[in-house]
Amino acid sequence: MLHSRTVLRNSLHPPIARAQLGKPSLLVCYGLRHCDRTSISGAQLSRRATLTSLILGSSLLVPEKASAAIIDEKAACRAFEAAGPSVIQVAGFKAKDDSSPEQIASGILWSKFGHIVTSYQAVEGFTRSGRPAQALRVTGLEDKPSQEAYDAEVVAISADNNLAVLQISAPPDLLRPIQVASSAELKVGQSVFAIGSTGTSERTLSAGVLSGQRRGIPSPSGRVIAGALQTDAAVSPSASGGALVDSAGRLLGMCIGPRSSSGRSSGVNFAISADMLRRVVPNLIATGNASGRGL
């Protein structure tokens, strides 16, 4: 079981130590492998349990009733495995031959034709007069530490909707579009997971709940984006443009990163709903409106 806003990196999970009040034993769990039950006397832990806790970094024991929000670990892993390959990293460079990106965000593989949906802020400053800047690269298509970078073309942008559509040319077997859910299936209180980039070759997953629907949030143009989803799942700046998914790994919305000057989340984050994406993205692809006007 994972506490809300716990971050998973790949498949590495911290060990779990759980003490049951009034019980003469301590249950020490090693990730997903096995559990040991060790006798204790009163408040004293056995030497073995103490050393194990210190080695594993699990000396803090939390009573059962102290857990306010528990997320099912199997559901989190299932969501990450299903949707992770469809979430990529979008890096913006000031010049084509630069090796260090000026900005890093996330994106969602939308189609087998290499279309990627991301936030307007991910490409803002990397387009000139509505033309591709040749300074956007995509990584994360391959499940290995050394990632090949693919040049991305800006197909269309919409500041009013805080959306951008990119396109890459990559081997078809690496293009795994995400499965899209319907907002009609959503329920406030259900578990949700935000998947995005870490700024490295890894992806991250943060867990939370859907805390609200049909919210109005400001767009980069100043207009209000209606129907947004609200969640307490953590969304870092580099995870902006990533996927908010359900326990089956289906897309519920596109995550919007924190807008504070510090870049830190206040614990209340938003996502552009999948229903809006389903309605707007095909129009962006069809019109090829790289100026972002009239959409």
Q: Are residues 195 and 266 in the same domain?
A: yes
* Mean pLDDT along residues 185-200: 88
Q: Are residues 183 and 272 in the same domain?
A: yes
**What is the domain range of residue 142?**
86-177
**CATH number for position 228:** 2.40.10.10
Confidence at residue 176, expressed as pLDDT on a 0 to 100 scale: 94
* Structure token pair of residue 153: 């073309």
Question: What's the Cα-to-Cα distance from 256 to each of 19, 57, 184, rounded to whole Å?
Answer: 38, 33, 21
Confidence at residue 162, expressed as pLDDT on a 0 to 100 scale: 94
> Given the structure tokens 């947004």, which residue do they identify?
228
Q: Are residues 27 and 97 in the same domain?
A: no
Confidence of residue 37 (pLDDT cuts 50, 70, 90): very low
- How many structural domains comprise the chain? 3
Confidence at residue 54, expressed as pLDDT on a 0 to 100 scale: 43
Task: Decide which of 18, 40, 68 is a domain's last residue.
Answer: 68
Q: Are residues 271 and 187 in the same domain?
A: yes
The answer to the question of residue 78 being in a domain is no
The answer to the question of residue 52 being in a domain is yes
Confidence at residue 17, expressed as pLDDT on a 0 to 100 scale: 40
**CB contact burial 151-180 (16+ within 10 A = b; e otherwise):** ebebbbbbbbbbbbbbbbebeeebbbbbeb
Residue 146: pLDDT over 80: no
Beta carbons within 10 angstroms of residue 10's beta carbon: 12
The answer to the question of residue 283 being in a domain is no
Task: Decide which of 177, 203, 226 is a domain's last residue.
Answer: 177
Q: Residues with Cβ < 8 Å from 109, sequence gap 6 or more?
A: 85, 86, 87, 88, 115, 116, 175, 176, 177, 178
Q: What is the DSSP letter of 257?
A: -
Confidence of residue 76 (pLDDT cuts 50, 70, 90): very high
Beta carbons within 10 angstroms of residue 261's beta carbon: 6
Q: Out of 14-18, 194-198, 277-281, which region has the weakest mean confidence (pLDDT)?
A: 14-18
